């Protein structure tokens, strides 16, 4: 930085005036313009999908393309439910994501509590194992996992998607970090003095403390489970789909009705959009703390 | 908890057992489920990759040693084509993602009205599902009625058949990935930018350093750990691209990544071998080679980003 100073012409080396410092503090309209443009770009594909789902099918092929919503949204939604098994897909996705979310939150809280506040043999080593497994891409084991599911007779069934998702290393680590900070040992010792067993301590002391972190973990887990594509595509059949695999089947028909496909895409996005509108702040907070990985 | 005394009551003994054993009870659901459905399949992949194992063959699995690998590495042009596409898409996605994210974080790091709106808006692409997004983008990149071609036609270009060419299809797929992930990385960068003490910038301003000089000589070097993190995360993610190329051209040619395999990635090749040809042995070998390639590329990405200068 000093090189900048010495090489600058004398005129620029004079102490900055009040006005100049002021202009550097105030955000210029260009910044806003750029940010609004980026925001529009972020929202546009989702918005456009909504536009198409509110138009008649011939709107997809019109030049110039339609850019404002029409009045056919409910018609198209009705068509999606009449002509495809999207209703079943939605129900399946709710079951899968709901079960996975509850289970991940419960088991992560249990294990996280044990790792943070209980002493036992091999604790450090086991925790290290949890952290290390976070880095392993599970897609790698997809072939053997499929063979296992076929052997169990689970291929094509929801439990094939649910069971492998019941726990995550990330969840355990995330809850452990939270308990480490948020749960004072004195509270637990007091509980022990009063004759609480470990399970009661967990249920009446740890779980209530964990509520904020468990909510964030649940939020992220739900979104991830809802959006999961690869494994459900591999193990499920088109007759028993989740929302994401139903979309892929819809899009790959011989004569594709794109209004129908994009209406389904819009419908499949609504649950995460609702979660996003309600908890956008928490999601951003979680990412900025490095809590959410893709 | 207490030192052993000669006579322990039943309740005391139960409490001791409780303290000793319940931690294992608490962590066992995780380790049991992860062991069976996470770790075991990973290890089993290596074993299956040494077999000739095709669901469509009547005879069961047969141990053939490294035959799958020999075939892949020396006699399979489709595999190398897929690896080439993977590396091309990795470059086209990772570098723009990181650069755009740095720029956006820089914009977001100013005094802003409506800060929350801008921040949450950036993450909207990331929370939408990859299937929905890819189907939407495939429409936007349509040849005849696609919005992208319509916009290009204003400039006299237009009528690009995005799916047909290698370069054009890679550009289209890369744009989906960049759209989806840039905001995520921008927020990671923003978080660490806010930890940079403002006195550094004040001093630089006094020294007469302009905005972009401050950005390049203060912000970027101090963000090095996050840039390394983001690059490695993006690399491991982008080396496994599957949904985007699969759904970019849905239909009969989906698993091959276009009629000419012009955008078939290694992960998509794994999918084609495993789940449209049911050649499990071969597919597992692809999986392991892809894992090794990913580690190598992530290592390269790490070494490159580590060289960001710090004063």
Alpha-carbon span B166 to B161, nearest angstrom: 11
Tell me the nearest-neighbour CA distance from A270 into chain B, angstroms. 9
pLDDT in tens, B84-141: 999 999 999 999 999 999 999 999 998 888 899 999 999 999 999 999 999 999 999 9
Tokens 């696609």 belong to B146
Question: Which burial class, exposed, middle or buried, applies to B282 when counting CB atoms under 10 A from its CB (0-12, 13-18, 19+)?
Answer: buried
- Band of the pLDDT at A13, cuts 50, 70, 90? very low
What is the reported pLDDT for A2?
35
Label residue B66 by pLDDT band (50, 70, 90): very high
Q: Does pLDDT of B169 surpass 70? A: yes
Cβ-defined contact of A227 to B130 (cutoff 8 Å): yes
Instruction: Please tell me which residue of chain B has the smallest CA distance to A47.
Output: B136
The verdict on A31 touching B (C-beta cutoff 8 Å) is: yes
> Which pLDDT band, with edges at 50, 70 and 90, does A291 fall under?
low
Q: Calculate ∠ Cα A17-A21-A27, nearest 5°.
A: 150
Q: At what angle do helices B266-275 and B280-306 cross, to 10 degrees?
A: 170
Express as a percent the part of chain B with pLDDT over 70. 96
Contact A224, A108 (CB under 8 A): no
Residue A28 in this model has a pLDDT that exceeds 50:
yes
Which residue bears the tokens 């040619």? B253
Q: Kindly state the average pLDDT of the residues A259-281.
A: 92
Q: Report the sign of the C-alpha dihedral through residues B296, B297, B300, B302, in that order.
A: negative
End-to-end Cα spacing for chain A: 37
Tell me, what's the pLDDT at A8? 38
Could you give the angle at the alpha carbon of A233 between the alpha carbons of A230 and A237, nearest 5°? 165
Burial of B171 (0-12, 13-18, 19+ CB in 10 A): middle
Contact A107 B30 (CB under 8 A): yes
The arithmetic mean of pLDDT across residues B29-52, rounded, is 94
Place of tokens 């570098």: B95
Which residue, chain included where needed, has tokens 């098994």? A85
Residue whose structure tokens are 């900048």 = A4
The Cα–Cα gap between B87 and B99 comes to 18
- Tell me which residue in B111, B123, B128 faces A46 most closely, judged by beta carbons: B128
Of B111, B145, B236, nearest to A65 by CB-CB distance is B145
How far apart CA A221 and CA A202 sit, in angstroms, is 22
For the segment A186-204, the average pLDDT, to the nearest whole number, is 89
Identify which of A35, A46, A110 has the shortest CB distance to residue B29.
A110
HSE of A225, CA atoms in CB hemisphere, 13 A: 30
Distance CA B196, CA A65 (A): 46
Q: Which of the four pLDDT bands, split at 50, 70 and 90, describes residue A17?
A: very low
Region of A216 please: left (phi>0), alpha (psi -120 to 50) or beta: alpha
* Tokens 């506040």 sit on residue: A117
Beta bridge partners of B54: B279
Question: Which residues in chain A (101-160) have CB-CB distances under 8 A to chain B?
Answer: 107-108, 110-111, 113-115, 118-120, 123, 126, 130, 133, 136-148
pLDDT of residue A61: 75
Angle at CA of residue A136, ends A131 and A142, nearest 5°: 140
- Does B184 sit within 8 Å of A287, measured CB to CB? yes
Among candidates A111, A251, A283 on the partner chain, residue whose Cβ is nearest the Cβ of B26:
A111
Indicate yes or no: CB of B209 within 8 angstroms of CB of A199: no
DSSP one-letter string for A157-183: SHHHHHGGGS--HHHHHHHHHHHHHHS
Read off the pLDDT of each residue in B214-243 and give the average, rounded to a whole number. 92
Q: Judge: A251–B135 Cβ closer than 8 Å, yes or no.
A: yes
pLDDT tens, B293-306? 999 999 999 999 99
Mean pLDDT of chain B: 91
pLDDT at A76 over 80: yes
Residue of A170, A287, A138 whose CA lies nearest to B229:
A287
Q: What Cα–Cα distance (Å) separates residue B191 from each residue in A28, B103, B134, B196?
A: 22, 14, 29, 10
State the ipTM, two decimals. Answer: 0.90
Nearest neighbour of A42 by CB, restricted to B125, B242, B288: B125
Task: Please tell me the predicted confidence (pLDDT) of residue B273.
Answer: 96
Q: At B144, is the pLDDT very low, low, confident or very high (cuts 50, 70, 90)? A: confident
Determine the residue among B1, B19, B30 to mutate to test chain A binding: the one whose Cβ has the most chain A Cβ atoms within 10 Å.
B30
- pLDDT for A223: 94
SS percent in chain A: helix, strand, coil, step 5: 75, 0, 25
A205 touches chain B (CB under 8 A): no
Of A130-134, B40-44, B90-94, which one has max mean pLDDT? B90-94
Kindly state the average pLDDT of the residues B182-187.
96
Handedness of CA B228, B229, B234, B240 (dihedral sign): positive
The most distant pair of C-alpha atoms in chain B lies apart, rounded to whole Å, by 94
When pLDDT is cut at 50, 70 and 90, the band that residue B310 belongs to is low
* Number of continuous H segments (helices) and E segments (strands) in chain B: 15, 2
What's the token pair of residue A86? 């999207």
**Residue in A294, A286, A220 with CA at minimum distance from that of residue B241:** A294
Mean pLDDT value across residues B199-225: 89
What's the gap in Å between the CA of B311 and the closest CA on chain A?
Answer: 10
Q: Report whether A179 contacts A113 (CB < 8 A).
A: yes
Could you say which residues from 67 to 106 on chain A have a Cβ atom under 8 Å away from some Cβ of chain B? Answer: none
Burial class (CB in 10 A: 0-12, 13-18, 19+), B203: middle
What count of residues does chain B have? 311
B172 Cβ under 8 Å from any chain A Cβ: no
Encode pLDDT of A210-252 as tens digits: 999 999 999 999 999 999 999 999 999 999 999 999 999 998 8
Range 60-89 of B in CB contact (< 8 A) with A: none
């Amino acid at each position: 930085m000093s090189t900048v100073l010495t090489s600058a012409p004398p005129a620029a080396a004079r102490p900055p005036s009040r006005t100049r410092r002021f202009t550097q503090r105030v955000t210029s309209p260009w910044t806003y313009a750029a940010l609004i443009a980026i925001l529009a770009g972020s929202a546009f594909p989702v918005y456009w999908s909504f536009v198409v789902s509110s138009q008649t099918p011939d709107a997809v092929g019109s030049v110039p393309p339609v850019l404002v919503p029409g009045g056919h949204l409910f018609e198209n939604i009705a068509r999606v439910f009449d002509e495809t098994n999207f209703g079943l897909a939605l129900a399946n996705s709710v079951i899968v994501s709901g079960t996975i979310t509850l289970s991940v939150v419960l088991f992560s809280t249990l294990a996280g509590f044990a790792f943070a506040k209980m002493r036992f043999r091999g604790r450090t080593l086991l925790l290290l194992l949890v952290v290390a497994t976070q880095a392993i891409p599970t897609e790698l084991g997809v072939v053997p996992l499929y063979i296992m599911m076929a052997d169990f007779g689970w291929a094509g069934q929801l439990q094939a998607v649910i069971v492998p998702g019941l726990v995550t290393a990330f969840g355990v680590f995330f809850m452990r970090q939270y308990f480490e900070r948020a749960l004072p040992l004195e509270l637990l010792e007091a509980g022990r003095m009063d004759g609480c067993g470990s399970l009661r301590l967990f249920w009446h002391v740890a779980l209530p403390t964990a509520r904020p972190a468990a909510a964030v973990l649940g939020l992220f887990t739900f979104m991830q489970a809802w959006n999961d594509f690869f494994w459900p595509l591999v193990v499920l059949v088109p007759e028993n789909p989740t929302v994401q695999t139903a979309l892929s089947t819809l899009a790959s028909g011989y004569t594709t009705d794109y209004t129908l496909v994009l209406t389904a895409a819009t419908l499949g996005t609504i649950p995460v959009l609702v979660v996003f509108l309600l908890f956008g702040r928490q999601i951003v907070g979680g990412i900025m703390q490095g809590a959410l990985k893709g | 908890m207490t030192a052993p005394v000669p006579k322990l009551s039943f309740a005391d003994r139960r409490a001791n057992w409780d303290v000793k054993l319940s931690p294992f009870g608490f962590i066992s659901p995780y380790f049991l489920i992860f062991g069976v459905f996470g770790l075991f399949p990973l290890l089993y992949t290596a074993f299956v990759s040494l077999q000739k194992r095709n669901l469509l063959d009547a005879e069961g699995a047969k141990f053939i040693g490294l035959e799958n690998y020999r075939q892949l590495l020396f006699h399979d042009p489709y595999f190398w084509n897929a690896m080439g596409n993977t590396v091309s898409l990795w470059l086209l996605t990772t570098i723009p993602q990181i650069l755009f994210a740095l720029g956006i974080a820089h914009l977001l790091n100013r005094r802003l009205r409506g800060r929350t709106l801008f921040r949450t808006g950036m993450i909207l692409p990331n929370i939408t599902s990859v299937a929905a997004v890819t189907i939407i983008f495939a429409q936007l990149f349509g040849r005849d009625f696609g919005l992208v071609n319509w916009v290009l036609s204003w400039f006299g270009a237009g009528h690009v058949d995005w799916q047909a060419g290698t370069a054009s299809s890679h550009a289209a797929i890369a744009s989906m990935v960049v759209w989806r992930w840039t905001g995520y990385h921008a927020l990671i960068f923003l978080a660490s930018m806010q930890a940079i003490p403002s006195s550094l910038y004040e001093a630089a301003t006094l020294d007469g350093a302009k905005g972009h000089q401050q950005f390049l000589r203060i912000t970027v070097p101090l963000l090095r750990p996050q840039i390394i993190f983001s690059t490695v995360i993006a690399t491991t993610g982008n080396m496994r691209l599957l949904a985007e190329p699969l759904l970019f051209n849905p239909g009969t040619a989906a698993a091959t990544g276009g009629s000419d395999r012009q955008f078939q990635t290694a992960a998509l090749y794994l999918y084609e071998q495993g789940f449209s040809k049911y050649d499990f042995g071969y597919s597992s070998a692809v999986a392991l080679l892809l894992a090794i390639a990913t580690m190598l590329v992530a290592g390269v990405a790490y070494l490159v980003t580590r060289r960001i200068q710090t004063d």
